[in-house]
Structure 1
Amino acid sequence: PPSVLQQLSSTLNKRIAEHHEVAGRGYQTSYSYITDLQFKPIAILSIPYFENDTFNERALEGSLYNLAIVYFSLLIVALIVAYFISKYITKSLKTIEQRLDKTRLLSRNEKITLKSAPAEISELVSAYNAMIDEIENSKALLAQSEREQAWREMAKQVAHEIKNPLTPMRLSVQSFQRKANRETQSSELTNEFCESLIQQIDILSNISTAFSALTNMPAKNDENFNFVPVIKRTLDIFNTDYIHFTYSDSDITAVFDRDQLGRVVTNLVKNAMQATENTPMPHIEVSLYKDNDCITLKVKDNGIGIKETDRDKIFEPRFTTKTSGSGLGLAMVKNIILSYGGTISFTSEVGKGSEFTAVLAHFLKTNQT
C-alpha cells in the first residue's frame, strides 16, 4: 500500500511493523525492502504473523504463584509467632489467675514471682503483690484487735472475780492482827505473818486494778496545760538520781488528760527502771520536745534491752519479761497514745538498752487569751 511505501521511505532501517485485528484477534505485519547487489530496492517483503501472549501469561501466572507462596509462608510464620507469644503471655496470666483463685483473707497467701515477664504483666504482678502485703498487714491488725478484745473481755471477768474477795480478806487479816497483838505474846511472829498476807493481798489488788484500768479506761478529761511541770512532778515520785529529764522548751502546751499523761510517763519509766535493775550504773533519760504540731516524749535506758523474739509482742496485754508485774503497763500506754491519734514505737539493742518514743500528733496548741 502507498502508506507502507511512504513509511518505509521515511525510516532509517527500512523496516516497519503494523498492528491489525481480524475477528477480534490481533496480528502484526512486518514490511521491509528487498534490495539488489547495489542496495537498490527492488521489492517489498510483507510477513504477517499472529500475536501470541502465552509466554507473558505464563510468566505472570508464575509470578503470581510465587507471590502467593511467599504471602502464605509469611502468614504461617506470623501465626506460629503469634501462637508462641500468646502462649507466653497467657502463661503469666494463667499463673496470676490461679493465685487469685487461691487468695483467701484468712489463709496464708503467696506472692507471685515471674521471670522475664512483659512490662504490663510485671506491673500487674507488682499490684497483686502489693495487695497481698496489704492483706497480710490487715490480717495482723485484725488478729491483734481480736486478741486485745478477747483479753479485755476476759480481764473484766477476772478483775471482778479477784477484787470481790480481796477487801473482806484484808479486813479479816487486819482484825486478826489486832486481836493477836492483844491476846498473845508472840506478836512479832504474828505481825510478820499478817504483814506478808496483807502484802500479797495488795499485790492481787494492784493486779486487779491494772486489769480494770486496761479494760475500762476512764473518760478523758482533756485540758490545755503545760506538759513540763506535770512530767517533773511525776518523776519526783521515783526519787532516784539516775533519772534525768530534759526538754526543748519550758512551755510545751497541748490538749491532753493530766492523769493519763502521768500514767504514760509512770509506766514507761517503771519499765526502764526494771530493765536497769542489774545494770551497774543505771541511767534513764526522759526527754520532751515539740516540733511543728507534734509533741514527742522519749524514755531511754541503758538496761538489758529487748530480745528480737519479744519485740512483736511487747505492747500486747499480759506479755511481760519480768518476774513480777502484770504485763499491762505498755499495753495501757499504747491505748492512751492511740486514743489521742498518736504513735508509739521503740528501738532496742540487747545488752545496751532501749528507747521508747511516743508521738502525740495534731494536739499541740498555743495559749490563747
Structure 2
Amino acid sequence: SYITKSLKTISDKINETSLNQKNEKIVIEANSKEINSLINAYNQMVDKLEDSATMLAQSEREQAWREMAKQVAHEIKNPLTPMRLTVQSFQRKFDANDPELKQKLNDYSKTLIQQIDTMSAVASAFSNFASMPAQQNETLNVVQVVELALDIFNEDFIVFESNEEEIISKLDRTQLIRIITNLVKNAIQSIPDEQEEKQILVSVNEMDDTVIISVKDNGIGIETENIDHVFEPKFTTKTSGMGLGLGIIKNIIENYKGTITFETQLGKGSTFIVSLPIVK
C-alpha cells in the first residue's frame, strides 16, 4: 500500500484528465525517484494540454468568424443581382415619352428599396451579434412582459399560460422581449403553412428561484444531423436570413447566468426552455 499509494493518485488524475476542462497538477512528493519523474512528466503534460486547449479555442473562434464573414458576404451578394438587373433594365428600356414612365419608375424604385432593406437587415443582424448592447436591468413582472410580447404576433394559435400572476426579477425588458419574440418567430416558421392545426404554447413558471420560460410548437421538429448546430451563429434551416437569432439570445441568456435547452421530435415539434435566475 505504501508503494502503490502514489501510483494510485497518479492513475486517478490521469483518468480525470480531459481537454475540455481545467486539469490540476499532482502536488505530492514521492520517496521514489521514478515515481517523482512520472509525476513531473504528468505535470508537464497538463501544461502542454492547457496550451493546446487555448490554441484550439482560438482556432475555433477564428474559424467561426471566417464562416460568419463568408455568410455575410453571401447574404449581401444575393440582393445585388436583382438590383443590378433592375438598373440595367431601366437603363435599356428608358423612354422619356412613355405614358407609363411614372409607374415603371415607381416599380423599379420599390424593387431597389426592398433589396436595400434586405442588405440593411443583414448588416443590422451581424452588428447586433458582434456587439450586444449593455443590459439596462429594471425590476419587472416577467409574466406580464412575456404576455405583452406575444401581442405583436396576433395569432389565435399562440397560447400563453402561467401558474403565477407575478414573477418579479431584475432584467432588461428589451432583451427579455427579444428572447420571446425570437423563440416564437422560430416556432411559427417551423410550422408549415399548409398545416391545418397549428399550436404554439408559451408558458412562464417559477421554480427554485428560477424563472422557466418554455416555447412549445407542433412544427416539423429538428433533423438529427442539425441538433448539435442549432445555436451556432451561422446555422439556419430557413431559405433566407443569417441564422443569428438563436446565437444572439443564447448570448443574452448566458450573460444572465441562465441556460437555454431544447427538446425536439421530428414531425411532432420542438420545445425550447429558458431558465433565468431570479434577481431581487
- The alignment's TM-score, normalised by the length of structure 1, stands at 0.54
Partners of 1:213 and 1:307 lie apart in 2 by 28
Matched with 2:65 is 151
- Asked whether 1:320 is paired with 2:206, we answer no
Q: Letter of the 1:220 partner, please give it.
A: Q
> Could you tell me how far 1:311 is from its partner in structure 2?
1.2
RMSD over aligned CA atoms reads 3.6
CA distance in 2, matches of 1:241, 1:230: 19
Q: 2:130 aligns with which of 215, 235, 243?
A: 215
CA distance in 2, matches of 1:358, 1:144: 28
Cα pair 1:246 1:288 within 8 Å, conserved: yes
Contact preservation (8 Å) 1:152, 1:214: no
Larger gyration radius, structure 1 or structure 2: 1
The answer to whether the aligner puts 1:337 opposite 2:253 as a matched pair is: yes
Query: Out of 82, 99, 102, which is 1:185 matched to?
Result: 99
**Alignment check: 8 A CA contact 2:68 2:233 kept:** no
CA contact (8 A) 1:152 1:215 kept: no
> 1:351-366 alignment to 2 at 5 Å?
351-361=267-277, 363-365=278-280
Where 1:192 maps in the other structure, the secondary structure is: helix
* AA in 1 matched with 2:117: D
Give 1:16-55 correspondences, 5 Å limit. Answer: none
1:285-313 Cα distance to aligned partner (Å, 9 max, x none): 11111112101111111111111211111
Secondary structure of the equivalent of 1:259?
helix
Alignment of 1:1-369 (within 5 A): 127-132=13-18, 134-135=20-21, 143=57, 146-147=60-61, 151=65, 185-186=99-100, 187-278=102-193, 279-361=195-277, 363-365=278-280
Question: How many positions carry a matched residue from both structures?
Answer: 230
1:321 positional shift? 0.8
**Larger % of strand: which?**
1
* CA shift in 2, pair 1:251/1:188, >3 Å: same
Take 2:170 and 2:58, find their aligned partners in 1: how far apart are those partners?
Answer: 29
Q: CA deviation at 1:119?
A: 11
Letter paired with 1:192: D
What is the rounded CA distance, in whole Å, between the counterparts of 1:256 and 1:153 in structure 2?
Answer: 32
What does the per-residue CA deviation read over 1:99-124, in whole Å, with 9 as the maximum and x for residues that have no partner?
xxxxxxxxxxxxxxxxxxx9997886
Identity level (%):
46
Q: Which residue of 1 aligns with 2:36?
A: none
How high is the TM-score relative to the length of structure 2? 0.70
Kept in 2: contact 1:234–1:265 (CA 8 A): yes
In structure 1, list runs of 5 or more residues that go unmatched.
Answer: 1-117
Alpha-carbon distance in structure 2 between the residues aligned to 1:345 and 1:150:
21
- What amino acid is the match of 1:131? T
TM superposition shift of 1:257: 0.2
Where 1:224 maps in the other structure, the secondary structure is: strand
The alpha carbon displacement at 1:147 in A equals 2.5
- 1:7 match: none
- Check conservation: 1:151, 1:317, Cα contact below 8 A: no
Give the 3-state SS of the residue equivalent to 2:116 in structure 1: helix
User: Would you say the 8 A contact 1:300–1:355 is kept in 2?
Assistant: yes
1:1-57: CA deviation from partner (whole Å, max 9, x where unpaired)? xxxxxxxxxxxxxxxxxxxxxxxxxxxxxxxxxxxxxxxxxxxxxxxxxxxxxxxxx
User: Which whole-Å deviations, capped at 9, do the CAs of 1:195-222 have from their partners, x for residues lacking one?
Assistant: 2221121111111111111111111100
Contact 2:144-2:166 at 8 Å conserved across structures? no
Q: Within 1, Cα distance between the matches of 2:270 and 2:58? A: 23
